[in-house]
Structure formats: structure tokens, C-alpha cells
């Protein structure tokens, strides 16, 4: 059976014209899936108020029905209208950080379908800053449920070229506006607890949140009646096909190579090293590919998923990654690397 190709829209980041985006907005309104760029990663969107459309997202990704979705909204006012309770902390954070890469988890209102929240008592809401995402959501005039546009468990796409064939073929429409600015997913913060609980470190740092509403609790420290677990936060995730091996220092990369990688090289196939800083590149052993990553966390985050995608495409079997420092500004990058390395 011939596959129906999605309608592909190419546009600039800053000046998306309504005329160009309209087919994507109509597809959303009609219950179709649309892949679109946000400032973090590409999302796979559907009308959040249409349970059938949302079910198609789960099917396309192979995502367990127990893992709830983020609902994207054009404004804090729309977010509030989808919540049963909108805490002061949510309003304060929205005033300061929206539109932008932070998702707020609140008690869900009655209009949010079960399939979106995986039947849970809360809903995750996010007002993205990407001009294309914003205008698309405004034109569709519905809240848009959108997980990252990858097959479940895999690396999130940060550019159009990294959308998997299965995702593309599930879409009525795909918007290509080039690479994403942040490259790592939004921070997910549960504001049903006091203090709020950081469920997923992300593009907005823990310090930025602390300056606005005080230090957030970490997920393991959460207690009380609203203890909310975030199903997507467990286990292997954000992972390339290759096996990811983490090491703390360039010297450890060398040792890892000497001690075991070299020993069973034929089993491991092609090996890539992902290191930081030009100097460390001299101290690592020969690899099929060596990628030198930036020393700045933002720049590193922007590149990480694209690098993993490219190393997979190059047929690497093992990717040895030198972990960035264990400091707060690297929290999101280290979190994603740890999950990518889980077996």
C-alpha cells in the first residue's frame, strides 16, 4: 500500500506567515498529527481536546499509555483554564518564564481528556517561545498535546532531518524551521507541591527557578498527598541505537578504551568518543570518530542530540562520552547522558 506523504512546510524561525502555517493549523483542528519545531526539540502535536487524535500520537511513537503528555498553550490564561487549581507559584513562574522552555504540572481541569494525563490527577502545561510553535498554536486555536517527535525511548529530534520515517508517515503535516535553539527538552516542574518539585531538569535551570520561587525539591524528596511521579522520568530514555558508555575524565576514556573497549573491539564495532574541550582530544585514544563538544552547557545541550543522531547514522556501535562537570549548570546535560547510557 502506498504511504501517504505528509505535507511539508518550510519556513523561517522569526517570520512565520499565517498563510504558510495555515495548512498545519487546519490539520490539527481536523484531528491530524503535526510535527513542529519548538525552542527545545521538535514536537509531535495533536488537538489536546480530541482523544482520538491524541491516541494517534501514542500509536505513532509506540509510547506506553501510562506516560502523560505535555499540553502546549498560547498563554498563561489558557493554561489556567485547563487547570482545576492554578497556584500562585504557577502564575509567578509563568509571568517570569513564559513563553519559554519550562513545563508546569498542575491539577487538571475537567476539559482535559484522560488519554492526555494517562488518567492521572494532573496535567503538564507549557507555553513555548518558538515563534513558529506559538503562531501555529494560536492559529489552530486549540491546546496542542505534544511529546518530543521521536519514537518512544529514542533521541529527541532537534532538526527536521532527524525525524524518523515512522513519525513522518504518521503526520498529516510537518513544519521544518531548522534547528532548535536549546536542543534539550523543557524543564518539568510540579507546582502542586510546596516547594515545587523538579521532575525533569531541562532548558530552564534549577537556579533560575530558585531565584523566582525558592529552591525546588528534587523528585526523590517529594512527599505528601500530591506526590506525583513522572512516568517518563524512569529508565532508559533519550538513547541512541549505539551503546553509550560514560566516563568522568579523558584519562578514564583512555583507560576504558585500553582495558575493555580495545579488548573486544570486534564485538563493539565502531567506537566514537565525545569529549569536551580541545585539550582532551589529544589525550584520548584512536577512535573511528572523535567529537569535541563545547565547554558551555547551553551550547553543549544544543548540539548533544544532533551528535548522537549523527553518530548512529555513521554506524557507531559504542559511543564513549566524557561526562561534563557535576555542577548545577550541567544538570540537564548529565541527566540526559545518564539516561542514554542505561541498558
The residues binding ligand TXA (CB under 6 A) are 38, 40-41, 43, 67-70, 101, 103, 105, 117, 120, 122-124, 126, 146-148, 185-186, 188, 199-200, 228, 230-233
* Residue 158 to residue 130: CA distance in whole angstroms: 13
Contact partner, 276, from ligand TXA, Mg ion, none, Cβ < 5-8 Å per class: none
| C-alpha Rg value of the chain to the nearest Å | 20
Closer residue to ligand TXA, CB minimum distance, 198 or 271: 198
Beta strands in the chain (DSSP E): 7-10, 34-36, 43-47, 70-72, 102-107, 122-126, 144-145, 173-176, 187-190, 197-200, 217-218, 243-247, 271-276, 289-293, 318-322
Q: Give the CB-nearest residue to Mg ion.
A: 148
Measured from the CB of residue 259, what is the shortest distance to ligand TXA in angstroms?
A: 35
Measured from the CB of residue 124, what is the shortest distance to Mg ion in angstroms?
A: 12
Give residue 297's Cα distance to chain centre: 16
Measured from the CB of residue 115, what is the shortest distance to Mg ion in angstroms?
A: 17
Distances (CA, A) of 75 to 89, 236, 323: 16, 33, 37
Cis status of the peptide bond prior to 219, with omega within 30 of 0 = no
- Counting beta carbons within 10 angstroms of the beta carbon of residue 175, is it exposed (0 to 12), middle (13 to 18) or buried (19 or more)? buried
Measured from the CB of residue 101, what is the shortest distance to ligand TXA in angstroms?
A: 6
Contact partner, 322, from ligand TXA, Mg ion, none, Cβ < 5-8 Å per class: none
Contact partner, 76, from Mg ion, ligand TXA, none, Cβ < 5-8 Å per class: none
Q: Give the CB-nearest residue to ligand TXA.
A: 232
Closer residue to Mg ion, CB minimum distance, 185 or 331: 185
* Residue 338 to residue 304: CA distance in whole angstroms: 13
Measured from the CB of residue 285, what is the shortest distance to ligand TXA in angstroms?
A: 35
Which candidate, 37, 74, 336, places its Cα nearest to that of 187?
336
Applying CB under 5 A, which residues contact Mg ion? 148
Contact partner, 228, from ligand TXA, Mg ion, none, Cβ < 5-8 Å per class: ligand TXA
Closer residue to Mg ion, CB minimum distance, 148 or 205: 148
Closer residue to ligand TXA, CB minimum distance, 50 or 190: 190
**Residue 242: all three cell numbers together:** 549505539
Measured from the CB of residue 265, what is the shortest distance to ligand TXA in angstroms?
A: 35
Note whether 58 and 65 are within 8 A (CB): yes
Contact partner, 309, from Mg ion, ligand TXA, none, Cβ < 5-8 Å per class: none
Measured from the CB of residue 284, what is the shortest distance to ligand TXA in angstroms?
A: 32
* Residue 79 to residue 126: CA distance in whole angstroms: 8
Cβ contacts of 334 within 8 Å, gap of 6 or more = 323, 324, 326
Closer residue to Mg ion, CB minimum distance, 129 or 148: 148
Amino acid at each position: 500500500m502506498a504511504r501517504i506523504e505528509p505535507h511539508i512546510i518550510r519556513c523561517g524561525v522569526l517570520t512565520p506567515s499565517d498563510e504558510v502555517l495555515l495548512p498545519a493549523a487546519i490539520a490539527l483542528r481536523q484531528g491530524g498529527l503535526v510535527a513542529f519545531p519548538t525552542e527545545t526539540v521538535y514536537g509531535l502535536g495533536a488537538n489536546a481536546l480530541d482523544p482520538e487524535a491524541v491516541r494517534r500520537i501514542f500509536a505513532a511513537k509506540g509510547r506506553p499509555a501510562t506516560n502523560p503528555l505535555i499540553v502546549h498553550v498560547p498563554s498563561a490564561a489558557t493554561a489556567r483554564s485547563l487547570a482545576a487549581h492554578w497556584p500562585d507559584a504557577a502564575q509567578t513562574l509563568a509571568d517570569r518564564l513564559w513563553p519559554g522552555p519550562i513545563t508546569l504540572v498542575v491539577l487538571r481541569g475537567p476539559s482535559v481528556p484522560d488519554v492526555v494525563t494517562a488518567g492521572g490527577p494532573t496535567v503538564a502545561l507549557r507555553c513555548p517561545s518558538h515563534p513558529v510553535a506559538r503562531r501555529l498554536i494560536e492559529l489552530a486555536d486549540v491546546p496542542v498535546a505534544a511529546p518530543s517527535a521521536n519514537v518512544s525511548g529514542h533521541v529527541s529530534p532537534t532538526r527536521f532531518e532527524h525525524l524518523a520515517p515512522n513519525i513522518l508517515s504518521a503526520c498529516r503535516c510537518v513544519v521544518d524551521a531548522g534547528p532548535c535553539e536549546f536542543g534539550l527538552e523543557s524543564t518539568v516542574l510540579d507546582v502542586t507541591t510546596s516547594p515545587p518539585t523538579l521532575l525533569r531538569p531541562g532548558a530552564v535551570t534549577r537556579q533560575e527557578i530558585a531565584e523566582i520561587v525558592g529552591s525546588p525539591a528534587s523528585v526523590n524528596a517529594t512527599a505528601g498527598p500530591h506526590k506525583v511521579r513522572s512516568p517518563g522520568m524512569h529508565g532508559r530514555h533519550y538513547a541512541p541505537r549505539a551503546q553509550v558508555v560514560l566516563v568522568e575524565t579523558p584519562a578514564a576514556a583512555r583507560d576504558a578504551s585500553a582495558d575493555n573497549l580495545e579488548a573486544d573491539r570486534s564485538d563493539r564495532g565502531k567506537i566514537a568518543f565525545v569529549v569536551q574541550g580541545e585539550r582532551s582530544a589529544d589525550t584520548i585514544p584512536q577512535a573511528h570518530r572523535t567529537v569535541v563538544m563545547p565547554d558551555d552547557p547551553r551550547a553543549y545541550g544544543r548540539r548533544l542530540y544532533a551528535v548522537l543522531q549523527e553518530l548512529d547514522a555513521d554506524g557507531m556501535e559504542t559511543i564513549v562520552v566524557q561526562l561534563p562537570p557535576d555542577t548545577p549548570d550541567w544538570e540537564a546535560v548529565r541527566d540526559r547522558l545518564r539516561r542514554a547510557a542505561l541498558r
